[in-house]
Amino acid sequence: MQRQGFDSISQRAFTSDAQKIGWLTLAGARAALSTVVPQPATLYRKPLSEVAFLVDAAAGDVAEPSWGTGRSGELMAVLAQLKQRDRDHNLSRIG
């Protein structure tokens, strides 16, 4: 890109056949390795603090209020549960 005067717009990038074969081989090796040695560490890792409340809400027991049936009903129930947790948290900070 320096040879082109740092102009990445007027000319297309060029990848040699050897580079393409190398990248394809690397991708294939990684895909094959992932089937032999899966790494599901993210499934068991503690959630980030920014989203822990969402994970807790999804993992907790969802009561059966009359929010409807199906996925929309479940979503409304989870949102109501989160709202209640916010209220409880705010009340605990006040009193």
Q: How far is CA 7 from the centre of its chain?
A: 35
What percent of the chain clears pLDDT 90, i.e. is strictly above it? 15
Residues in the chain, overall count? 95
Q: Does 40 have pLDDT greater than 70? A: no
Phi-psi label, residue 14: left if phi above 0, alpha if psi -120 to 50, beta otherwise? beta
Domain ranges of the chain: 42-94
Say how far apart CA 81 and CA 57 lie, in whole Å.
7
Q: What is the pTM of this model?
A: 0.34
- With contact defined as beta carbons under 8 Å apart, do 43 and 59 qualify? no
Nearest to 77 by CA among 62, 59, 89: 62
pLDDT top residue among 2 and 51? 51
Whether residue 67 is predicted with pLDDT greater than 60 in this model: the reply is yes
Instruction: State the pLDDT at residue 62.
Output: 56
Q: Which of 46, 53, 50, 58 is nearest to 88 (CA)?
A: 53
Digit-coded pLDDT (tens) for 21-31: 999 999 999 88
